[in-house]
Amino acid sequence: MRYALLLHNPEPAPGDIPAEGIAEMERLFTEYADALVSAGVLVGADILQFSHATTTVTRRTGATQVQDGPFAETKEALAGVFVVDVPDLDAAVAWAEKCPGATYGSVEVRPVATSIVAGAWTGHGPAE
Amino acid sequence: MTDGPAYDAAAAAARDGYGRLVGLLAAGSGDLQAAEDALGDALERALRTWPADGVPDNPAGWLLTVARRRLRDRHRSVEVRRTTPLVPERHAPARLEDVDPDAGGDRRLELMLACAHPAVDPVARTPLMLTTVLGFTAAQVAPAFSVPAATMATRLTRAKRRIRDAGVPFTLPDRSALPGGLTGATQVGERHRAGVRVRIPVPLLRIREIHHRIHRHEPADRRVVIPRPDRRQPVVSAGLSKNP
């Protein structure tokens, strides 16, 4: 099954975290990514820029609306996505637990319903 | 139809084998609702056919086969179901005698661990065990948890959907995960012992008993211990009769 590990954390203001702290976290994330790759479970990973850079688009009312900022302002913002392919929830939770982001934020473990594999939608979980 | 040997045989198979059959049926897909529905259909069919055809030598094997077939039917398209003829060799009742539910092992502990998984809403864990392992209905357990039957039914449905969709495994944790992985199951027992909200000693004792039977050959450090419910606690067992 595929799971998306969604990293959420409060966004620090510039200068809140010392440079060595950032370097240390980058090192931990590299180790984490290496572990995912060598276990053969990583599908893809993206760490996002802070939400000040985001733009939200909707056509819900018919006309296209482009809005600066995230859909909803929250204390913790979406900060990154790791997609892993593992046998079950326990394995996914174990990887979430190892994620460095879990030490200062939270990691949401969400099963993937369907994804594009080789150009076509491919189901994963039970389709209902 | 509430009497006769056919009814008694079906009732006995359901009482003693419910959790075992649900465990076997659900372990593959993780779909508890589908497993329970399939077993319900099989029981209904048993009540319709056994009085006429006689009780099979191996009622549990019969139920398991019919339920498995129902599960397979679910996965097939309507088209296939409408157009595939019954094949006498494949569907003949004689073959049902060969099915041995013990061959698939006992998945009841896996079933209980899935019900007590940390990903399942804590308030749903105990009722989920009572319904899937022991075969109680939502309406039967609801009074013991002081909620209306409809609320309990919704709670159980939601929990079962979660187990299926989130990919909660039907596995025994390995040694490394044992202490953490089993806290859910033991907490259910603890809550009973504390008698905080729910006190249902009879079914819990049966869960302990099933548990013990599965684990009697395990070395002591691998055995899962469910605490004994405190018998001194006043018992609230409204609506919980042993036999539906």
Option in B167, B169, B173 nearest A111 (CB): B167
The string of DSSP letters for B92-147 reads: -GGGGGG--GGGG---HHHHHHHHT-TTS-HHHHHHHHHHHHH---HHHHGGGGTS
Task: Collect all residues with Cβ–Cβ distance below 8 Å to B92 and sequence separation of at least 6.
Answer: none
Residue of A nearest to B113 (CA): A90
3-class SS at B176?
helix
Cα gap B163→B156, rounded to integer Å: 11
Single-letter amino acid, residue A91: A
* Residue B170: pLDDT band with limits 50, 70, 90: confident
- With beta carbons under 8 A apart, name residues in chain B contacting A87: 169
Q: Which of A2, A90, A128 is the best mutation test for B, with the most CBs of B within 10 A? A: A90
Average pLDDT over residues B84-100: 50
Q: What ipTM is given for this predicted complex?
A: 0.76
Asked if the Cβ–Cβ distance from A90 to B29 is below 8 Å, we say no
Inter-chain residue contact A125 with B171, CB threshold 8 Å: no
Q: Please tell me whether the overall predicted TM-score, pTM, comes out greater than 0.80 for this model.
A: no
d(CA A12, CA A18): 11
Does domain A2-48+75-123 fall under CATH 3.40.50.2020? My reply is no
pLDDT category of residue B211 using cuts at 50, 70 and 90:
low
Taking an 8 Å cut-off on Cβ atoms, the answer to whether A89 and B117 are in contact is yes
Cβ atoms of residues B111 and B173 within 8 Å: no
Q: State how far the Cα of B74 lies from the Cα of B81, in Å rounded to an integer.
A: 9
- How many residues comprise chain A? 128
pLDDT in tens, B74-89: 766 555 555 555 555 4
What share of chain A has pLDDT > 90, as a percent?
A: 66
Q: What residues of chain B, 184 to 243, have a C-beta less than 8 Å from chain A?
A: none
Determine whether B203 is exposed, middle or buried from the number of CB atoms within 10 Å of its CB (0-12, 13-18, 19+). buried
DSSP 8-state code for residue A83 = E
What average pLDDT score do residues B45-50 get? 90
Which is more confidently placed, B99 or A2? A2
Domain positions in chain A:
2-48+75-123
pLDDT confidence bin for B6, thresholds 50/70/90: confident
Q: Does A81 touch chain B (CB under 8 A)?
A: no
A88 shares contact with chain B (CB less than 8 Å): yes
pLDDT per residue over A59-88, tens digit each? Answer: 999 999 898 888 887 889 999 999 999 999
Chain B residue closest to A4 (CA)? B166
Tell me if chain B has a CB within 8 Å of the CB of A89. yes
CA distance B62 to B47: 12
Beta strand spans in chain B (E): none
